Structure 1
Amino acid sequence: MDLISDKAFRVLLVDDDEDYCVKVQAQLQERGYFVDCAHDVPSARRLIDARPYDLYLLDLIMPGTSGKVLCRELATQSVAGIIVVSSISDDAERIALLELGADDYIVKPFNALELLARVRSVLRRSDRNRATPRQAPRFGPWALVDGERHLKHEDGRVISLTSSEAEILRFFVANPNMLCTREDILAVARVRQYAGANDRSVDTLIRRLRKKVEVDPGNPRLIETVWGQGYVFRPG
């Protein structure tokens, strides 16, 4: 058994390529890991809600909600390790995913021994981090309290958030100065699973957030609009 302690680790593999999943699942199970597979983000969420995992192996490009959205969710809600496994080799994309919260990034195709070595390395780090308290994400004068739906201002004010507003704000804080598309925002908010880019609920959510966090909502400095594409969060 390929153990780094006296426990067997549970891994969730999220990828829409079923043949790839079968292959990687077998490689990890041969070394003593418990491995579940999901072929899209909604299926992965159902498994995550049902049981805890020690490590996630995520593809980026899948039908519907992207792996990037799930990576953000896991990074803010779990201390488990996250390895992105993707055919995208662009350096900027890899750096962005690491900043988003992924612990490692492997480009397909890869050597099985390399994957196993990286799995062991990430599990060691995530095991050490389990006892470390999570700091509240901060931007400007605000602190977004993890696990709670409210913001705390440095002057003592407390602002309540809806669940969708809190999810979007966590996504923005995890992706500073990066373009967040309307589709990404809808998926994060879970307003509708496959809403189109012209869905007006995005505008409503952003307008509500601006009223809560901007000094002048009519002249936003934190949440900038990129016309025809989405929004960029500028934490200052």
Structure 2
Amino acid sequence: MSDVADELGGMNERILICDDDVEFAENICEFLLGKGYQVDHVPNVPTAREKIEAETYDLFLLDLIMPGTTGKVLCREIAARLDAGIIMISSVDDDAERISLLELGADDYIIKPFNDLELLARIRAVMRRRQSGQQGQKRLNRFGPWELVENERHLKHDDGRMITLTSSEARVMRFFVENPDVLCTREDLLAVARTRQHGGAGDRSVDALIKRLRSKIEADPANPDHIRTVWGQGYIFRPS
């Protein structure tokens, strides 16, 4: 990433996972601990409330559906009381549910099953937005002469043209628009695009995806204004 903190990992940022699937949560804990985050896990909302009263957290990973009080209730409570990031976790892929959670104050919503790299990319994105003073739930759509059409895989130009995106292109484009002027590694973008379960910094398939996006949005794809290469590191998205 673009600074030392991102390169070293979480730099002791604290995360609380609230999920009744203990094995699932423990796997996430192990992964995030290895990335430098301090991570606690609780299996239900009442226990989460106790932890919140006793500890301070930078970000919460909340399962949407749990026995008893749901993650949605806890999301609302945290958003009203605390200055912290919230990522909802669910097996329910429903646009209405996603939008309602964003309106409640969640910063992001990730669908099970997901790979660890996608989760890491989303955590980093939420923390960057909050650290830069942005509101994580704000849905940004415009860049240059283009508008990313919400809930559709299309871009609309000011002259009326409509460009269709593939699913992977749409995910990466949304990630770029919500994270302007931030260095994104190939590993980040592979995870967001969900092109494969495992990828790495040396995986070049993301370059082909970037080439396709440039051909669709750049006036001169060979000299891009928006998606710029940082040699040996990744890409930076410039909205204007």
Report the TM-score range of the alignment, normalised by the length of the smaller protein.
0.5 to 0.7
Match of 1:143 in 2: 147
Match of 2:222 in 1: 218
Q: Secondary structure at the match of 1:194?
A: coil
Match of 1:125 in 2: none
User: Quick check: 15-24 or 166-175, which moved more?
Assistant: 15-24
Per-residue CA deviations over 1:65-99 (Å, capped at 9, x if unaligned) read: 33442686xxxxxxxxx8x6xxxxxxx67514x53
**Equivalent-residue separation in structure 2 for 1:47 and 1:55 (angstroms):** 19
Which of 10, 18, 22 is the matching residue for 2:42? 22
> Relative to 1, partners in 2 of residues 1:173 and 1:198: Cα closer, same or farther, differing over 3 Å?
same
**Equivalent-residue separation in structure 1 for 2:107 and 2:214 (angstroms):** 34
**Equivalent-residue separation in structure 1 for 2:176 and 2:158 (angstroms):** 19
Q: Secondary structure at the match of 2:235?
A: strand
Per-residue CA deviations over 1:163-202 (Å, capped at 9, x if unaligned) read: 1111111100001111011111001100012201111210
Which of 118, 136, 145 is the matching residue for 1:102? 136
Q: % of aligned pairs identical?
A: 46
C-alpha contact 2:228 2:238 (8 A) present in aligned 1:
yes
Deviation at 1:57, TM superposition (A): 8.9
Match of 2:170 in 1: 166
**Equivalent-residue separation in structure 1 for 2:49 and 2:105 (angstroms):** 14
TM-score (norm 1): 0.57
- Cα RMSD over matched residues? 3.8
C-alpha contact 2:156 2:163 (8 A) present in aligned 1:
yes
> What amino acid sits opposite 1:20 in the alignment?
D
Per-residue CA deviations over 1:128-152 (Å, capped at 9, x if unaligned) read: xxxxxx8770000000001001110
Deviation at 1:20, TM superposition (A): 2.1
Match of 1:33 in 2: 69
The number of residues matched between the two structures is 167
**Equivalent-residue separation in structure 2 for 1:185 and 1:135 (angstroms):** 19
Match of 1:152 in 2: 156
Which of 181, 187, 190 is the matching residue for 1:186? 190
> What amino acid sits opposite 2:227 in the alignment?
I
> What amino acid sits opposite 2:69 in the alignment?
Y
Matched, 1:228 2:232: yes
TM-score (norm 2): 0.57
Match of 2:210 in 1: 206
Deviation at 1:25, TM superposition (A): 4.1
> What amino acid sits opposite 1:34 in the alignment?
T
> Relative to 1, partners in 2 of residues 1:154 and 1:187: Cα closer, same or farther, differing over 3 Å?
same
Per-residue CA deviations over 1:18-48 (Å, capped at 9, x if unaligned) read: 8821277442477973249xxxxxxx76534
Which of 197, 200, 207 is the matching residue for 2:201? 197
C-alpha contact 2:18 2:43 (8 A) present in aligned 1:
no
Aligned counterparts, 1:56-135, within 5 A: 63-69=116-122, 94-96=130-132, 99=134, 102=136
**Equivalent-residue separation in structure 2 for 1:204 and 1:151 (angstroms):** 19
Query: 4+ residue runs of structure 1 moved beyond 6 angstroms?
Result: 29-32
Which of 47, 64, 69 is the matching residue for 2:91? 47
C-alpha contact 1:180 1:231 (8 A) present in aligned 2:
yes
**Equivalent-residue separation in structure 2 for 1:35 and 1:233 (angstroms):** 33
Give structure 1 stretches of 5+ with no counterpart.
Answer: 1-11, 37-43, 73-81, 85-91, 104-133
